[in-house]
């Protein structure tokens, strides 16, 4: 009984996240995203998945902006051509490995948030905007991390 009470009162672990890989081109965007999220008053963690292409200097700037950084091994899109913008966009799958969180709101690093988005944490996993009937836009997604889903 005591364990049930504790689990019900335990704070949910929720976070906003983005991914930077292959280039430092979006570092300024990620800094702007962090600052725009914080200005809305959110108290959620800000998690940034980065690969080894991001320099130590840029990592410090990202941390100063509010990101908690985690280094990942990027995942190549098998259908992408070498050197294209989407060559490593499968790295977003690493979001499902953030199992220390119950829910993640992924936001692309080229987005500026103008008002608090915390209500999105009430939506179920894989809530996203549809581009048409067969595909969705992965620029903003609700994710419930799970190693089973990742595999």
Long-range pairs, 37-42, Cβ under 8 A, ≥24: 37/66, 37/107, 37/113, 37/117, 38/66, 40/113, 40/114, 40/115, 40/116, 40/117, 40/118, 41/116, 42/16, 42/116, 42/117, 42/118
Residue 102's φ and ψ, nearest 5 degrees, are -85, -35
The pair of three-digit structure tokens given for residue 136, joined into one six-digit string: 């969705």
Which residue out of 43, 58, 68, 92 is catalytically annotated? 92
Catalytic residue status for 92:
yes
CB atoms within 10 A of CB 75: 15
Q: How many CA atoms lie within 13 A of 40 on its CB side?
A: 18
State the catalytic residues: 92
């Amino acid at each position: 009984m005591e364990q049930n009470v504790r689990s019900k009162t335990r704070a949910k672990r929720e976070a906003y996240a983005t991914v930077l890989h292959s280039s430092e081109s979006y570092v300024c965007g990620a800094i702007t995203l962090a600052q725009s999220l914080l200005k809305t008053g959110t108290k959620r963690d800000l998690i940034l998945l980065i690969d080894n292409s991001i320099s130590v200097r840029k990592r410090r700037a990202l941390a100063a902006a509010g990101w908690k950084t985690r280094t990942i091994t990027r995942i190549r899109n098998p259908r992408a051509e070498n050197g294209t913008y989407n060559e490593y966009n499968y790295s977003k799958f690493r979001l499902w490995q953030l199992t220390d969180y119950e829910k993640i709101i992924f936001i692309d690093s080229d987005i500026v948030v103008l008002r608090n988005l915390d209500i999105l944490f009430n939506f179920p996993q894989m809530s996203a905007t549809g581009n048409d009937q067969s595909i969705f836009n992965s620029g903003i997604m609700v994710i419930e991390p799970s190693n089973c889903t990742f595999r």
